[in-house]
Amino acid sequence: MISRRHLLALGSSALLLPSFPALADEDGERKFLFVFCFGGWDVTRVYAPLFESPVVSMESDAAASTIGGLTFVDSEARPSVRSFFESHAEKACVINGFEVTSITHQRCLQILQTGSGAGSRDDWGSRIGHGSSLDPTMPYVVVGGPAYTSELANDVVRLGNDGQFERLLSGSSLELASRPAEPLSEATAAEVDAFLRGDIERFVEAGVGQDGARFGGLYTNALDRQATLASQGGVDFNPEKTSPPVRAQLNTALDALELGLSRCAQVEYQGTFEQTWDTHSDNSRQSDHFEELFEVLSDLMDDLALRPSPGGSGTLADETTVVVWSEMARTPALNTSNGKDHWTFTSCMLVGDGITGGRVVGGFDDTQLGQPIDLSTGELSDAGTTLGAANIGATLLALADVDPGEDEPIVGILA
């Protein structure tokens, strides 16, 4: 994998290069699991201890605490947060003060996941999945949450929120059509597939040009993937309804990673009782959300440590980077409804292999604006760069041995 040491060896100009050389990883290809929290979280409940600020509404019964070099907001109301850091601080890196440059949910979602609001970029998950050297059946599986594709839609599998993908895969979706039809028998389906493959082969052989050949390759590849998934009994593509639903989503995502079907997966956590994190009133709900989230994250880390990696050389914990984030943050001060509104400067947390854990990178000033950092070290610097979502995405791409292009990674957090 691309490491901090390797990039620094290339010199400061390495940040301007159009691509990075890939380094071999003897332990297996790095995988990624995104835990997306919809609605916009209040970073001052965990990640940003801004107790000295005269304009930030902090909790009266909370305090700053440091575990393993990582400083966070500690409260008796959130024992799972402390417990998580006690067990995993050395693997965790909190990135504070990056900006998503919008205050609308949909635009923030797109900026967070693609680095741009232009609508013509593929998200980080699809780029990471596409960059796999192992040709997984579902490069990027979206069990929950949003996804954005432009050129790489063929690398993304969206399960849907009501078993849509499973029904498409089995053919049972025909029974729910406006004009219901019975699925084909296995023998008839095999004949249809054989005919389609032959038809596509004849189409390509007819010399229809580069676009036609590409289409033929994609179509044949899709048929191959469909056959693989239809015969795969190890993944439940329609996660059961649990409380919170993210637990069942995680089981599906981890099954796909463990079996080598996917390199990258995303799940969504919408807060306690699915209230979302959008607390324009009663901001105290943020505490409940974070408490349950970190309880789920602790269980996730335990599960990763128990599941074998696809290659059998270790566990998923040895090969997986967990990314925990939300599309925006909340305003520094409470509003008249005891809530907080939308704020552009936010935080995220990376946990796992390949990063320098036990640290907080970046920061907020007294007005909860992001502070610039030196990308080569991750340290605060007045002459540095004010972080944006593109820097976070570029860092993930660098971890995945995928070319970040013009976007600059935070080299200082790469192990």
For 331-350, write each residue's pLDDT tens digit. Answer: 999 999 999 999 999 999 99
Strands 329-330 and 31-37: unpaired
pTM, to two decimals = 0.90
State percent of the chain over pLDDT 70: 93
Q: Is residue 289 classed as helix, strand or coil in its secondary structure?
A: helix
The residue behind tokens 């676009």 is: 211
Alpha carbon distance 89, 350 (integer Å): 11
Q: What SS3 state is found at 330? A: strand
Which of 290, 268, 247, 276 shows the shortest CA–CA distance to 81? 290
Both tokens of 262, joined, read 């996917």
Q: What is the pLDDT of residues 116-160, one digit of tens each?
A: 998 789 999 999 999 999 999 999 999 999 999 999 998 999 999
pLDDT in tens, 73-110: 999 999 999 999 999 999 999 999 999 999 999 999 99
- Per-residue confidence (pLDDT) for residue 166, from 0 to 100: 86
Q: What was the pLDDT predicted at 25?
A: 38
Q: How far apart are CA 409 and CA 196, in angstroms?
A: 44
Mean pLDDT of the 53-69 span: 97
Q: What is the 3-state secondary structure (H, E, C) of 99-130?
A: ECCCCCHHHHHHHHHHCCCCCCCCCHHHHHHH
| CA-closest candidate to residue 304, choices 314, 292, 313 | 314
Q: For the segment 212-247, what is each residue's pLDDT rounded down to a tens digit?
A: 777 788 788 787 887 788 777 678 888 888 889 999
Q: Is the pLDDT of residue 210 over 80?
A: no
